[in-house]
A and B are shown apart, each in its own frame.
Chain A
């Protein structure tokens, strides 16, 4: 099983450029979410989705957009990249808590540098 797949693994952008981080899962999970992790810090929730067509903001949503047109995919869009968005981004998915374990499965991360 592929689990949660993130692309690209590394990306360098210039300030003002836009890009999309891709996230796909093959476990038919309802929940998907995006986190960012800055050096030496924990994970902060950017956006999350509880199912296709439903998204909501997390702790740090500014500067990011998401959509959930299918169960499998949850792309994260940076509209106009800023140096403050330099970070490692993790995508995660899970079944609803109470269905199996509700365990969160994480991707390997996408390291983004904005110059």
Chain B
């Protein structure tokens, strides 16, 4: 099964960029890379996803390595409201449980 590996925790200063890494060395060609975040006492929420090319949206940017074995979620200017657990998961086109499996995620602490 394709799995992802993330650091348990990271810290950032407010208003500075944050780079959250994710390794997915067994990714298959049809797997999309999704990022979600979970604020305290809430359900996870979608952040961004991509397949091969780097992606930008209003929340973040996603940089995908050329071999697709790793990716990085970039928060351009961290705010206190970005303190959350960030999950990187792989979603394939087939209907398998593999695509819905979350790891432990990265706990991001934002320091004022």
CA–CA, A22 and B42, complex, Å? 18
On chain A, which size bracket covers the interface?
Answer: 20 to 34
- Which residues of the other chain, A, contact B36 by a CB distance below 8 angstroms? 104
CA–CA, A45 and B98, complex, Å? 10
- Which residues of the other chain, A, contact B93 by a CB distance below 8 angstroms? 96-98
CA–CA, A33 and B92, complex, Å? 15
Beta-carbon contact of A42 and B87 below 8 Å: yes
Beta-carbon contact of A56 and B97 below 8 Å: yes
Which residues in A have some Cβ–Cβ distance to B below 8 Å?
A: 31, 33, 35, 41-45, 48, 50, 56-59, 90, 92, 96-98, 101-109
User: Does B68 belong to the interface (CB within 8 Å)?
Assistant: no
Report the stretch among B17-25, B43-51, B58-66, B70-78 that lies at the interface: B43-51
On chain B, which size bracket covers the interface?
Answer: 20 to 34
Beta-carbon contact of A42 and B102 below 8 Å: yes
User: Does B100 belong to the interface (CB within 8 Å)?
Assistant: yes
A42 to chain B, nearest CB (A): 4
- A-B CB contact pairs (8 Å), 9 listed: A44-B102, A48-B100, A90-B43, A92-B44, A97-B91, A101-B46, A102-B32, A104-B34, A106-B43
